[in-house]
Chain A
């Protein structure tokens, strides 16, 4: 009994099982959960985490770490709004934001891969620097969007589903393909499995790591733009603590912190579990402070699960 339970929970599909069970329980017990309005709201609420998790997955899979994502999201949002406002051109603003995000990612990647500085330390530093830049640029205040077209970006719908959700879905598809079907994706996993052996097998480890961080910056900028559009302003304090939610989602989704193991479907499930937990607490009117407890517990559970799974793999 416990043996089969263990096998199901720690196996490839374990997370999916947990997810389906949780979803069923929640649908049956929480009023209004299954309403169209709530489900769309739920999807909207995980857009930022979901998008950033795509590249965080690569980062973790290659044994790296990125703490600067929350700051990049806020910074890119600020850049998008401020450049749009001052030039009067939204495309220019978006382009500037994407460039800014990529640039920060590139700096992370170069420092980590070429100067061999620990990823944790590097991104801890850029996390603060970039947040500082966002605060300086706006003098610490939110900057409203002048042109309403900008915030219609988040409000617009296609086939009844909000555009940001479509973008998230598209990124899921793209990054699933990149991970599973491209040399870049396979190399990322190989680097996580054994960086030295990968290098000796001709994998350009430095280049791959730089690319991963640059992509991470770019994708954070996309998330930042969508977030700014949804909250109709650039907020220098937006997305604080995002890095932890994203990493939790990835680990919950079976991405190993020791590198070498990752799947897009797992990450999607991880993101949804976090989203549902938050959504349910809102529906049940649970005080916001408790949400910290729950999020922390979920993270702990995720790491525990990762640990058990790794040990199960070794034991086999």
Chain B
């Protein structure tokens, strides 16, 4: 008997049928995977479950009772806790305050901070999250923030827990902490809905799974016993994908990007590396290893304290993204919500914001040209949107990511492309397409730097990998030399032996 039931759920947004009569049930004490392409309707279903939005038709039942909640508060009271795809923490407050927001331990209106910190510290330790409860959320990495968000859900004794792509910014070690937590919750008899694009996680965690395609139920599996990877992929994308990486050998040319002794506030030790024309250089490391920080210095998003960057031998003025772009160096940032999308503006505008200067004489824009560029990329990357005029905040997470990629792919004359977690939240089908685009750019002589925490991804597409550990470049491997083991060993701080490393990773 299913404990949580969705029955004939439909939801329409202006111009988009996000869900059409979706029905399925989940047993008590089980983890249920929810999968599908970008824009398939996964987050929409989660939003309905969280009471944030209401279904047009159909109902949700928990333990046989129809839920008629009108707000997130009601859902909360019914024991439903949801961790959304986009983080919802207050950056200016401490970790502890975020975890107890709205429910501070207080006497006469005065917050008992000591009690608060102690309590939260205890809970964090218990669930295995190594973060100071006093730290401000704004000082944490995205991965750490994600863990806090999950801890928030655990602190409340929920009956139903829904996680929307919780590991998309976690390292494998942090993911493992989360998985153990989920295992424990399963044993405690909770119902857990788990959304992810990572198939290995689905197989590692889930007792059953449901696949959505274009808002419809494409498949429902009560158990994972007979389900194979290939079958899931074809259920999701409606076709077979032979080799998702599709790496092919390439000639690499002269040095395009040369970074010498670059250091800054969050990369204390000078870092040096080079990337060649036609090369795909991977940067691997644990979350917090300093990869994104280093890339931000290279691009000029942050002001370095010293060092130099040269493009094709010509020195680059540091500290100005604008000048970097003009010199042909671009960065697709890690944090899509804070640094990527321009909220409130259309999809089209978000695509052309950087490249429009090439066809805007005297600063007057060319709407027709902009429209054709935007439409071309919407089609090429299969961005799911009713039109280029749609406000970007209405797109699903993976589709927003594609728009940001399109922003840089539409920039003519790039020499160096740095992508930080390029496929975060992107479905398998689209991943393969994005890798293919990267290969094509490399074949045209672009030097590509890929920062990724997903080990299979870095290994799958890189020609060479640099590993960062504790804010230093720690090791270098060429294709053929790297294996999971050596990469992880290099990524872990010295104080650990390879054995514990393998366990932790």
> For the complex, what is the distance from the CA of A200 to the CA of B296, rounded to whole Å?
10
Q: Is the CB of B343 within 8 A of A183?
A: no
Q: A183-B356, A201-B407, A316-B14 are in contact. Are A194 and B343 (CB under 8 A)?
A: yes
Per the 8 Å Cβ criterion, residues 162-215 of A in contact with B are 181-184, 186-187, 189-190, 192-194, 196-204
* Binary contact track B54-77/A, C-beta < 8 Å → 1, others 0: 000000000000000000000000
Stretch in B126-134, B226-234, B334-342, B438-446 touching the partner: B334-342
Per the 8 Å Cβ criterion, residues 313-344 of B in contact with A are 321-322, 325-326, 331, 333, 338-344
- Select from chain A the residue with minimum beta-carbon distance to B330: A202
Note all chain B residues with C-beta closer than 8 A to A203.
322, 353
- Select from chain A the residue with minimum beta-carbon distance to B370: A186
Note all chain B residues with C-beta closer than 8 A to A183.
356-357, 360, 363-365
Note all chain A residues with C-beta closer than 8 A to B333.
200
Q: Which of A182, A184, A199, A202 has the most CB of B within 10 A?
A: A202
* Binary contact track B360-388/A, C-beta < 8 Å → 1, others 0: 10011101000000000000000000000
Q: Is the CB of A197 within 8 A of B356?
A: no
Q: Is the CB of A200 within 8 A of B363?
A: no
Note all chain A residues with C-beta closer than 8 A to B407.
201
Closest 3 CB pairs of A and B: A260-B344, A193-B342, A202-B325
Q: Is the CB of A190 within 8 A of B342?
A: yes
Q: Is the CB of A199 within 8 A of B321?
A: yes
- 11 chain-A/chain-B pairs, Cβ below 8 angstroms: A189-B345, A193-B344, A193-B345, A196-B339, A197-B339, A197-B342, A201-B353, A260-B342, A260-B344, A313-B391, A316-B394
Note all chain B residues with C-beta closer than 8 A to A315.
53
Note all chain B residues with C-beta closer than 8 A to A131.
none
- Select from chain A the residue with minimum beta-carbon distance to B53: A315
**What's the minimum C-beta distance from A204 to chain B, rounded to whole angstroms?**
6
**What's the minimum C-beta distance from A174 to chain B, rounded to whole angstroms?**
13
> For the complex, what is the distance from the CA of A150 to the CA of B353, rounded to whole Å?
45
Task: A197-B338, A260-B342, A313-B391 given; name 20 further pairs at CB < 8 Å.
Answer: A182-B360, A183-B357, A183-B360, A189-B344, A190-B342, A190-B349, A193-B344, A193-B345, A194-B342, A194-B343, A196-B338, A196-B339, A197-B339, A198-B353, A199-B301, A200-B299, A200-B331, A201-B354, A202-B325, A260-B343
Note all chain B residues with C-beta closer than 8 A to A201.
321, 342, 353-354, 407
> For the complex, what is the distance from the CA of A168 to the CA of B344, rounded to whole Å?
29
Note all chain B residues with C-beta closer than 8 A to A313.
391
> For the complex, what is the distance from the CA of A203 to the CA of B353, rounded to whole Å?
8
Per the 8 Å Cβ criterion, residues 187-209 of B in contact with A are none
> For the complex, what is the distance from the CA of A194 to the CA of B400, rounded to whole Å?
14
**What's the minimum C-beta distance from A115 to chain B, rounded to whole angstroms?**
16
Q: Which of B345, B357, B364, B367 has the most CB of A within 10 A?
A: B345
> For the complex, what is the distance from the CA of A198 to the CA of B340, rounded to whole Å?
8
Q: Is the CB of B349 within 8 A of A192?
A: no
Contact partner, B365, options A186, A198, A202, A316, Cβ 8 Å:
A186
Q: Is the CB of B344 within 8 A of A197?
A: no
**What's the minimum C-beta distance from B395 to chain A, rounded to whole angstroms?**
13
**What's the minimum C-beta distance from A25 to chain B, rounded to whole angstroms?**
32
Contact partner, B345, options A190, A196, A204, A256, Cβ 8 Å:
A190
**What's the minimum C-beta distance from A265 to chain B, rounded to whole angstroms?**
17
**What's the minimum C-beta distance from A180 to chain B, rounded to whole angstroms?**
8
Note all chain A residues with C-beta closer than 8 A to B363.
182-184
- Chain A binding surface, main DSSP class: helix
Q: A183-B365, A192-B344, A316-B394 are in contact. Are A202 and B339 (CB under 8 A)?
A: no
**What's the minimum C-beta distance from A284 to chain B, rounded to whole angstroms?**
40
Number of B residues with CB within 8 Å of any CB on chain A? 33
Note all chain A residues with C-beta closer than 8 A to B343.
193-194, 260
Note all chain A residues with C-beta closer than 8 A to B321.
199-202
Note all chain B residues with C-beta closer than 8 A to A190.
342, 345, 349, 353
**What's the minimum C-beta distance from A194 to chain B, rounded to whole angstroms?**
5
Q: Is the CB of A197 within 8 A of B340?
A: yes
* Binary contact track A205-234/B, C-beta < 8 Å → 1, others 0: 000000000000000000000000000000
> For the complex, what is the distance from the CA of A314 to the CA of B356, rounded to whole Å?
28
Per the 8 Å Cβ criterion, residues 287-303 of B in contact with A are 299, 301
**What's the minimum C-beta distance from B40 to chain A, rounded to whole angstroms?**
19
> For the complex, what is the distance from the CA of A203 to the CA of B322, rounded to whole Å?
7
**What's the minimum C-beta distance from A193 to chain B, rounded to whole angstroms?**
4
> For the complex, what is the distance from the CA of A219 to the CA of B356, rounded to whole Å?
28
Note all chain B residues with C-beta closer than 8 A to A184.
363
Note all chain A residues with C-beta closer than 8 A to B367.
181
> For the complex, what is the distance from the CA of A187 to the CA of B353, rounded to whole Å?
8
Per the 8 Å Cβ criterion, residues 295-316 of A in contact with B are 313-316
Q: Is the CB of B339 within 8 A of A200?
A: yes
Note all chain B residues with C-beta closer than 8 A to A189.
344-345
> For the complex, what is the distance from the CA of A187 to the CA of B365, rounded to whole Å?
11
**What's the minimum C-beta distance from B459 to chain A, rounded to whole angstroms?**
28
Note all chain B residues with C-beta closer than 8 A to A314.
393
**What's the minimum C-beta distance from B294 to chain A, rounded to whole angstroms?**
16
Note all chain A residues with C-beta closer than 8 A to B394.
316
Q: A186-B365, A193-B343 are in contact. Are A316 and B13 (CB under 8 A)?
A: yes
> For the complex, what is the distance from the CA of A316 to the CA of B407, rounded to whole Å?
25
Contact partner, B354, options A193, A194, A202, Cβ 8 Å:
A202
**What's the minimum C-beta distance from A229 to chain B, rounded to whole angstroms?**
32
**What's the minimum C-beta distance from A187 to chain B, rounded to whole angstroms?**
8
Q: Is the CB of A181 within 8 A of B322?
A: no
* Binary contact track A54-72/B, C-beta < 8 Å → 1, others 0: 0000000000000000000
Q: A202-B321, A202-B354 are in contact. Are A182 and B345 (CB under 8 A)?
A: no
- Select from chain B the residue with minimum beta-carbon distance to A196: B339
> For the complex, what is the distance from the CA of A189 to the CA of B53, rounded to whole Å?
28
Q: Is the CB of A194 within 8 A of B341?
A: yes
**What's the minimum C-beta distance from A145 to chain B, rounded to whole angstroms?**
38
Q: A190-B349, A190-B353, A193-B345 are in contact. Are A181 and B340 (CB under 8 A)?
A: no
Note all chain B residues with C-beta closer than 8 A to A261.
344
**What's the minimum C-beta distance from A18 to chain B, rounded to whole angstroms?**
22
Note all chain A residues with C-beta closer than 8 A to B322.
202-204
Note all chain A residues with C-beta closer than 8 A to B345.
189-190, 193, 260
Q: Is the CB of A182 within 8 A of B364?
A: yes
**What's the minimum C-beta distance from B90 to chain A, rounded to whole angstroms?**
17
**What's the minimum C-beta distance from B454 to chain A, rounded to whole angstroms?**
23
> For the complex, what is the distance from the CA of A201 to the CA of B324, rounded to whole Å?
10
**What's the minimum C-beta distance from A7 to chain B, rounded to whole angstroms?**
11
**What's the minimum C-beta distance from B449 to chain A, rounded to whole angstroms?**
16
Note all chain A residues with C-beta closer than 8 A to B53.
315
> For the complex, what is the distance from the CA of A49 to the CA of B357, rounded to whole Å?
33
**What's the minimum C-beta distance from B354 to chain A, rounded to whole angstroms?**
5
- Select from chain A the residue with minimum beta-carbon distance to B349: A186
> For the complex, what is the distance from the CA of A186 to the CA of B344, rounded to whole Å?
12
Per the 8 Å Cβ criterion, residues 142-168 of B in contact with A are none
> For the complex, what is the distance from the CA of A204 to the CA of B331, rounded to whole Å?
16
- Select from chain B the residue with minimum beta-carbon distance to A207: B322
* Binary contact track B176-196/A, C-beta < 8 Å → 1, others 0: 000000000000000000000
> For the complex, what is the distance from the CA of A124 to the CA of B299, rounded to whole Å?
36
> For the complex, what is the distance from the CA of A100 to the CA of B342, rounded to whole Å?
35
**What's the minimum C-beta distance from A150 to chain B, rounded to whole angstroms?**
35
* Binary contact track B1-28/A, C-beta < 8 Å → 1, others 0: 0000000000001100000000000000
